């Protein structure tokens, strides 16, 4: 008969060789298994663990590198719990900076109509819609699976009346009059780049990789913003500043700046065609 604290210890030990924070992840999985908050575990530590085999099956999935967010179907983004499922990229903490940069511009300029390219789980569009109650967003993606996850988050956060999801590439078929600004976190990992097994084996490659040095879609999105004459806020890889600067130079684009993450790494850019 295993008690909850014993199960936690055993799971932590099993996860030790494969994850960075084994105790934390064991707690997350156990809280998910028990259907309770992680903070409640301590109060329940002498209780008997029901269905231990089901709990240790979750631990085994994590030991095979499946991301904990796909196991629990939850991911924290901008202090909210979003629904997540395989087929949609797990939103990353650095993308919260993309939201901050986009939000600042929307606030300063009073934009009411924004387009997101590559909505994925919907984390970016949903967060922007919650920050700006008058904002209307058209959000596109080429992946039906990702759009289904976004749909679920639109329902969860009750923003379905202000975000229109569209299955299309870039902004094909989107009415240009609906776009005052573009925000995007497109695939930008260079083809052939080796990623950790939890990413490479489980997350959708269409959300991660772009041909060549990975800047193809970044450049296409800049072109599109220029054609529409609207501002763009876009995430990129920490090592893509040089090729993007070179592209801006070639195109004679001067009104751009890069933004950084908390570690001081280049993380994205704003181009002001507006």
Ligand X SMILES: C[S@@+](CC[C@H](N)C(=O)[O-])C[C@H]1O[C@@H](n2cnc3c(N)ncnc32)[C@H](O)[C@@H]1O
Q: Residues interacting with ligand X, by CB under 6 A? A: 89, 91, 95, 117-121, 123-124, 140-143, 146, 169-170, 185-187, 206-207
Q: Least separation, in Å, of the C-beta of 63 and ligand X?
A: 25
Cβ distance to ligand X smaller for residue 22 or 87: 87
Identify the CA nearest to 219 among candidates 192, 191, 186, 193: 186
Q: How far is CA 171 from CA 142, 180, 249, 262, 272, in A?
A: 10, 13, 25, 31, 18
Q: Least separation, in Å, of the C-beta of 207 and ligand X?
A: 4
> CA 17 to CA 25: how far, in whole Å?
13
Q: Least separation, in Å, of the C-beta of 15 and ligand X?
A: 25
Burial label, 35 (beta-carbon count in 10 A; 0-12, 13-18, 19+)? exposed
Q: Least separation, in Å, of the C-beta of 130 and ligand X?
A: 15
Instruction: Give the contacts of 150 (CB within 8 A, at least 6 positions apart).
Output: 88, 119, 120, 121, 122, 125, 126, 139, 141, 165
Cβ distance to ligand X smaller for residue 124 or 271: 124
- Regarding beta strands 231-235 and 266-271, do their DSSP bridges make them parallel or antiparallel, or are they unpaired? antiparallel
- DSSP run (H or E) holding 147: helix 144-156
Cβ distance to ligand X smaller for residue 52 or 243: 243
Cβ distance to ligand X smaller for residue 10 or 190: 190
Q: Least separation, in Å, of the C-beta of 163 and ligand X?
A: 12
Cβ distance to ligand X smaller for residue 22 or 187: 187
């Amino acid at each position: 008969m295993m008690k909850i604290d014993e199960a936690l210890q055993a799971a932590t030990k099993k996860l030790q060789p494969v994850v960075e924070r084994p105790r934390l992840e064991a707690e997350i999985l156990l809280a998910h298994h028990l259907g309770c908050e992680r903070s409640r575990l301590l109060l329940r530590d002498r209780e008997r663990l029901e269905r231990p085999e089901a709990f240790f099956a979750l631990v085994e999935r994590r030991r095979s590198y499946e991301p904990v967010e796909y196991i629990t179907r939850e991911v924290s983004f901008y202090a909210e719990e979003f629904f997540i499922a395989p087929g949609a990229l797990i939103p990353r903490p650095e993308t919260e900076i993309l939201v901050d940069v986009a939000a600042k511009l929307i606030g300063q300029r009073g934009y009411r109509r924004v387009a997101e390219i590559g909505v994925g789980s919907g984390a970016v569009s949903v967060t922007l819609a919650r920050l700006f109650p008058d904002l209307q967003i058209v959000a596109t993606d080429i992946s039906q699976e990702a759009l289904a996850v976004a749909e679920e988050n639109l329902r969860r956060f009750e923003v379905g009346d202000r975000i229109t999801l569209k299955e299309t590439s870039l902004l094909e078929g989107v009415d240009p009059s609906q776009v005052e600004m573009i925000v995007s976190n497109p695939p930008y990992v260079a083809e052939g780049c080796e990623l950790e097994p939890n990413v490479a084996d489980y997350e959708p490659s269409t959300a991660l990789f772009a041909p060549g040095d990975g800047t193809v879609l970044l450049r296409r999105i800049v072109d599109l913003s220029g054609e529409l004459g609207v501002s763009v806020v876009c995430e990129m890889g920490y090592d893509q500043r040089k090729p993007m600067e070179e592209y801006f130079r070639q195109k004679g684009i001067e009104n751009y700046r890069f933004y950084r993450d908390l570690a001081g790494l280049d993380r994205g850019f704003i181009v002001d065609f507006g």
